[in-house]
Amino acid sequence: MSAGHSVHTDDSTLSRLDQRLFKLESGLNLVAGIVILMLMMLAVIQIFGRKIFNIPVPGFIDWVEQAMAVFAFLGISYCQRIGGHIRMDILVGRFRGRMLWLSEFVSTIVMMLLSTALTYGSWLHFRRAWDLGDSSIDIALPIWPAKLMVPVALALLTLRFILQAWGYLRAIKNNDIHPVAVPMIEDAATIAANEAMSVTMSDGESAR
């Protein structure tokens, strides 16, 4: 299931590193959003150009393929930081204290190892495209920039997993109730309250 999350902060080194990395993740997530907007505008131009003027955008499919790698991967670490990925917490949600942090630590380590392997593999794919000079079929766009986005995003995700593993390890040691630099799972009542508050604040700002 998908749940709401919050991330606690303090004055520790871990929290400062987490917040600095989050700024980078937020910036890359913004870039991904801008790419999606530009792709939508390009699609509109493609439709009107083809239907009205019979002049389609040259290499439209090639541009879409390049853009997909950007918005599909650049926001992945941001989503991990805020706990936005879909997860099954039927069992884990019943844990409390050190047992909860231990289970989260183990799963984070497993995902970190998997992300590291994927980073290495995607880097090899990028190097292959760079060395061979691979290009798209229609207008011969170089493929390596899109392939480079994948290992960059996965390397950032691996770094995020390292910080979160550090946070869970510290929580296990100190038996923290609210550990820093990790997404806290919120129950249904808290999620509903937060959503109601956001709607109320939006209505209040609109009234002004």
**pLDDT of 38-68, one tens digit each?**
999 999 999 999 989 889 999 999 999 999 9
Q: Which two tokens stand for residue 171?
A: 């929580």
Q: What is the pTM of this model?
A: 0.85
Ranges of the chain with pLDDT below 50: 1-4
- Taking the C-alpha atoms of residue 103 and residue 14, their distance in angstroms, rounded to an integer, is 20
Helix (H, G, I), strand (E, B) or coil at 3: coil
For the chain, the structural domain boundaries read 7-200
From 83, 85, 90, 75, select the one nearest 167 (Cα to Cα).
83
**pLDDT of 142-172, one tens digit each?**
999 999 999 999 999 999 999 999 999 999 9
**Strands of the chain, DSSP E:** 5-7, 183-185
Q: For the stretch 112-142, what's the b/e string if a residue is b when 16 or more beta carbons lie within 10 angstroms of its beta carbon? A: beebbebbeebbebbeebeeeeeebeeeebe
Q: What pLDDT is attached to residue 186?
A: 65
Q: What pLDDT is attached to residue 187?
A: 61
Burial class of residue 146 (count of CB atoms within 10 Å of its CB; 0-12, 13-18, 19+): buried
